[in-house]
């Protein structure tokens, strides 16, 4: 029995009653952070390692979250539907979970990682080095315009967004259409696209009009505004995709489009 299981079975309820549970959990996570440094994910019998720098990382990459979170099952699905030599466009790459998994699991692949936040990009590059894989980082945000915009900073580094809301802190980042950057930089047309951009999915897709026509056969899009799901479905269908919902949990809506 692991310490976590033993704690939940025999101590947690009592410590909650006296108000000590949060303190003990915090101290335990601090200890694990100091002694671990990284955590691994097993995707289709391929081990991919990721840096742990804070409590959010530790919890996000915990075995329990790997089992319950839709994110890791989507990563498995993308790997299962991809093939050797595929080009993967990871929009909203954050610290490189999807990028590193794809690069390590798919032979001869090309991975293009789009992420505007400087700290996330640095972490993505360290994770790629840790796994001895090559990715092509694009240090900007994709949308339907070419300009400088504010990126609003979330309390969780996985929640930065171009949409204003409760987040007051912001940094200025370059924003481009995906079509423009892929053409200007000479990147190959992606076969597989993942989009996780905290509410600006429609704008990102609008900036990929030409790319979606040219050859992309698989797209997975996390929809953060449920009211926009129908518009995104229609957009993808108009581009020739057969669209279905990935109902993996009650929290997140994911659409998958296939040609």
pLDDT class of 246 with cuts at 50, 70, 90: confident
State the pLDDT at residue 258. 97
State the pLDDT at residue 57. 79
* E strand spans, the chain: 38-43, 46-51, 87-91, 110-114, 136-138, 141-143, 147-152, 170-177, 192-195, 218-223, 242-246, 253-258
Average pLDDT (187-214) is 95
Is residue 25's pLDDT more than 90? no
Mean pLDDT score across all residues of the chain: 88
Average pLDDT (147-159) is 86
What is the helix (H) or strand (E) element at residue 73, kind and residue range? helix 70-80
Among residues of the chain, what percentage have pLDDT more than 70?
88
pLDDT top residue among 19 and 233: 233
Q: Return d(Cα 68, Cα 242) in angstroms, integer.
A: 27
Reduce the DSSP state of residue 38 to 3 states and report it: strand
Secondary structure, 3-state, 172-235: EEEEEEHHHHHHHHCCCCCCEEEECCCCCHHHHHHCCHHHHHHCCCEEEEEECCHHHHHHHHHH
The pTM of this model reads 0.85
What is the helix (H) or strand (E) element at residue 78, kind and residue range? helix 70-80
State the pLDDT at residue 205. 97
pLDDT class of 159 with cuts at 50, 70, 90: confident
Domains and CATH numbers, the chain: 69-258 (3.40.50.150)
Decide the pairing of beta strands 253-258 and 218-223: antiparallel
Is residue 188's pLDDT more than 70? yes
Is residue 112's pLDDT more than 60? yes
């Amino acid at each position: 029995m692991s310490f976590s299981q033993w704690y939940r079975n025999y101590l947690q309820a009592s410590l909650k009653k006296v108000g000590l549970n949060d303190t003990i959990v915090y101290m335990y996570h601090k200890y694990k952070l100091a002694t671990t440094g990284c955590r691994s994910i097993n995707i289709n019998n391929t081990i991919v390692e990721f840096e742990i720098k804070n409590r959010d990382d530790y919890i996000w990459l915990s075995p329990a979250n790997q089992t319950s979170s839709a994110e890791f099952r989507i990563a498995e699905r993308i790997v299962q539907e991809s093939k050797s030599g595929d080009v993967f466009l990871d929009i909203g790459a954050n610290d490189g979970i999807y990028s590193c998994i794809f690069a390590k699991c798919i032979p001869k692949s090309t991975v293009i990682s789009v992420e505007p936040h400087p700290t996330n990009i640095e972490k993505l590059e360290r994770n790629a080095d840790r796994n001895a894989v090559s990715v092509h980082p694009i240090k900007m945000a994709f949308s339907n315009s070419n300009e400088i915009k504010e990126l609003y900073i979330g309390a969780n580094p996985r929640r930065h967004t171009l949409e204003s809301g409760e987040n007051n802190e912001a940094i200025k980042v370059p924003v481009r259409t995906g079509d423009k950057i892929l053409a200007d930089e000479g990147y190959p047309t992606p076969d597989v696209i993942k989009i996780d951009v905290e509410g600006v999915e429609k704008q990102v897709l609008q900036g990929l009009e030409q790319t979606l026509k040219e050859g992309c056969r698989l797209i997975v899009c996390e929809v953060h505004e449920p009211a926009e799901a129908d518009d995104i479905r229609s957009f993808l269908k108009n581009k020739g995709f057969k669209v279905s919902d990935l109902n993996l949990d009650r929290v997140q809506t994911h659409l998958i489009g296939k040609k």
